[in-house]
Amino acid sequence: MVLTSSAKAEVDEVLGTKRDISFEDLGKFSYLSQVLKETLRLYPTAPGTNRWLHEDMVINGLKVPAGCSILFSSYVSQRLEKFFKDPLKFDPERFDASAPKPYFCYYPFALGPRSCLGQVFSQMEAKVVLAKLLQRFEFSLVPGQLFDIKDTGTLRPKSGVICTIKPSS
């Protein structure tokens, strides 16, 4: 798979045979970061965020009174054609540094002063885990799996994900 081989090539280039990943190494994982961002675009851990209205508001001609809670679905908005070309296609290149970024359309950790406090840490942690897994193993999905999602406040695969794993050569 091209995606895995590109990510693995980057990990091999940045880490070589090093066992430990430094903070400086994390900044060199540009493609791995793109893969993580694209994954969170299509499958945000939390599928939405809500905000309480402190004053009446009109949204698309509909009056919403103060005291109401508004839910913004990142799962829906991050899959809209008007914000992302071929929105259901997994394309890490859309997060390349030179690619245009749609404003307020990508928010897997929410936005503004109430965004997730752990977003930077969780992204660093995810890069460390992904890099170590790609450094040590090769993965392939077992064919014929259902790809359904269970929403329990966070999104997860309903039927799990079954892979064949072998040591990296």
For the annotated binding site, the residues are: 116
Residue ranges for the known binding site for heme are: 116
Q: Which two tokens stand for residue 21?
A: 């990943």
Residues with Cβ within 8 Å of residue 151, at least 6 apart in sequence: 47
Beta strands in 18-68 (DSSP E): 49-52, 57-59, 62-64
Nearest Cα to Cα of residue 139 among 26, 5, 43? 5
Cα distance between residue 78 and residue 68, in whole Å: 24
**Using an 8 Å Cβ cutoff, are 31 and 10 in contact?**
yes
